[in-house]
Amino acid sequence: MSIQRFFLPQSSFSSGQVSLPQVVQHQLKNVLRMAAGDQVVVLDPQGMEYHLELALAPEGNFTGKIVSQEMNRAEAHTRITLCLPLTQREKFEWALQKGTEAGVAAFQPLVSLRSLVQDGALVEKKRARWEAIIREAAEQCGRGRLPDLKETLSLKAALQSLPEMHERCLAAWVDEQQIGLEDALAGFRPGGALALFVGPEGGFDPVEVEAMRGVGVQPFSLGARVLRMETAAILAPALILYQLGEMKPREA
């Protein structure tokens, strides 16, 4: 069985000591049925991994003795912000989970002209659930940092802010006939910040595409086949990271 991993807040790390929050205590004792002497890995917000040996304190809670520590080596150097229109709950949550596994650094929920969900305020009530999905996926796949979940924006608002925050902005568009992914990434060096827009089930409206072009977002094609939104949302960031050399085997 693989060793259990937990992301902890910075407040859990102080003067060489690691305190385990009650939610983790509950997971260790009541869900995983762990015992003194078992080992877990905890991570701080900077991506440092601490291997802990568990011990039981007199009050019944676990304490953790640091056995070793090292910087996590699973994170991609390139930070991709996946801009994804709101859609059916199952599809959106699947994209959050698989996008985390693929290496996405941040998720930007969007409301576009054709997105199935038009009220961003309603879905913000699901934030706690979405953050839990991201956390569980990050712990399972060995990520060093938790992807950031941004507040929902309209596509118009996103186009007003994201281009200034990213070195390259791309949009997967089914009607793009000339520019493929390799061309769209030309001149972009690994380690930079990249915003990736994926359209809703009905695709981006041509008016939206022109607005994206107007602020420097480059549409590109994922090939001749028409992909479902949730497929493109996972395939595109994975292909970008592969193209940039970010899918190499983990160093020993």
pLDDT of 91-120, one tens digit each? Answer: 999 999 999 999 999 999 999 999 888 887
Q: What is the pLDDT of residue 116?
A: 87
pLDDT band at 250 (very low <50, low <70, confident <90, very high): low
CA 155 – CA 189 distance, rounded (Å):
26
β-strand pairing of 218-220 with 168-172:
parallel
Mean pLDDT taken over the chain: 91
Q: Where are the domains of the chain?
A: 5-71, 79-243
Structure confidence by residue, pLDDT tens digits, 15-60: 777 889 899 999 999 899 989 989 999 999 888 999 999 988 888 8
Q: Answer whether residue 1 shows pLDDT above 60.
A: no
Is the pLDDT confidence value at 249 over 90?
A: no
Q: Output the CATH code of domain 5-71.
A: 2.40.240.20
Question: Does residue 252 carry a pLDDT above 50?
Answer: no
pLDDT at 209: 95
Please say if the pLDDT value at position 123 is more than 80: no
Q: b or e along 108-141 (b: 16 or more beta carbons within 10 Å of the residue's beta carbon)?
A: bbbbbbebebeebeebeeeeeebeebbbebbbee
Helix residue spans in the chain (DSSP H): 22-26, 89-102, 120-123, 127-141, 155-165, 181-184, 206-214, 229-243
Contact 23, 29 (CB under 8 A): no
pTM of the full structure: 0.90
Q: Which pLDDT belongs to residue 251?
A: 60
Q: Say whether 79-243 and 5-71 share the same fold.
A: no
Beta strand 193-198 with 168-172: parallel, antiparallel or unpaired?
parallel
Does the pLDDT at position 135 exceed 50? yes
In contact, 87 and 81? CB cutoff 8 Å:
no
Judge contact between 123 and 165, C-beta under 8 A: no
pLDDT digits (tens, 9 = 90+) for 147-165: 999 999 999 999 999 999 9
Domain 79-243, CATH among 3.10.180.10, 3.40.50.300, 3.20.10.10, 3.40.1280.10: 3.40.1280.10
